[in-house]
Structure 1
């Protein structure tokens, strides 16, 4: 955090929060914080990858790391406490080799089958009484030259394992995941309209479902969140009476964690999925770092105004 940003000047900042992150890890961290079992699968390489592994080892998050040659990218979130704005600086994701992509896919398959994990479970495999996976979440942008069928492949793997698939990505990945029949897509309004080449948000969501997505949840900033469902006319909007001040960096990831928890728990009602997603996303804004939500999430859920459109 910094008390005001003056471009071109030096700034003194307090000790930053270092944390293993990325959208998928944030989703797992939030779900685990709220008492739901999770398994995080990601790549790690170089000194930054070793730092990520060290943090995960102490986090309690069960995980599978796929070793890669390139260093794990870093992201800096700069929160200006004067303007209330948060700026994100993302390193470009390093390209992976074909063998590394195959190893990542194999780790997902192994996770769906209940294979060996680290961190929260160290004895190799799931315990006999451990819950089997209830949903597969794919989160984040893909690096340059990523296989075009990676996210569609995740959707297919999930469905072959008998579980729903939630995808949170941008660009062409949204379109390919929709065509593969993703059970829920979670873009923000900029990502959705850019991917669909639309200026009308409702029309863009309709086109995405026309490609094959079952549900679409869209973050729209201070206007809250919109929810669409195939076969359901119109859409729902969840909005707080007044916007919250804080760090919105992990709000979308918290919302994805909520949808995963809801769907894995058997919730099918769109209104309830939306209420949980919007309240967890809002509660994330109240926290200093991504990957956690405020205990006020139940209070925020009660305050949400949900309307039909």
Structure 2
């Protein structure tokens, strides 16, 4: 009887997860495997895939100079946007952790930009704001600062894209705020009794206690930045002089403008390996700086 109930319960569980399992197999696992297979072929959507072995990968690293350039630009974009976003998100989370009247309204307002995500509408708005005669330059003009060519200056365009990434800090902020709520007030009280000021409390209590959350946000935001496409496509279209031509745009152009689908699949797998390696490196470094309270220290 017990065995029959166990089997019944097991199959009932499978029935409930069947929709997710079907979606995972059809829309995630199958495209994942198919893209790997296609990366070893010459495939243009107009012809049957022709197996070419490692030719696509060899071309990427030997003759396609633009690929290495886009990977470098994507790396700079990630290094610029992710740390700024995490610092800003943590700063706002600390402010919103205060116990003041109406704090829930402030939290909602600060989270609002992230609801829109990386949408085309937000990117269009950002482009209009940073145009030569846009709102940002008008605001700077009030203080006598000359207008900047935010979108056409080769040195400023990538910074402008990074600022959009930083502005959408809501998801990281909410996670930081939840972590801050989990820190025992007794730790701060003990530090205050010992003469520790706010800054020392932040360095020696707050940061170690939320280091695991910083670790999580660092990985997630880095992956998101490396996969960015919408903002670069809508705001600058890769310009000026290809200075914002990130890997997401090259993947799009190779696959849907030049119909080199097999080649684009090879690029996507190189990007996947880069993300995987960076993630593993961050995991490896976590031994030195991530604190886990339930394990009495670093893992």
Name the TM-score class by shorter chain: under 0.3
TM superposition score normalised by structure 2: 0.25
Between Structure 1 and Structure 2, whose CA radius of gyration is higher? Answer: 2
TM-score for the superposition, normalised by structure 1: 0.24
Give the number of the structure with larger relative contact order, counting CA–CA contacts within 8 Å between residues 6 or more apart: 2
> In proportion to residue count, which structure has more strand?
1
Higher fraction of helix: 2
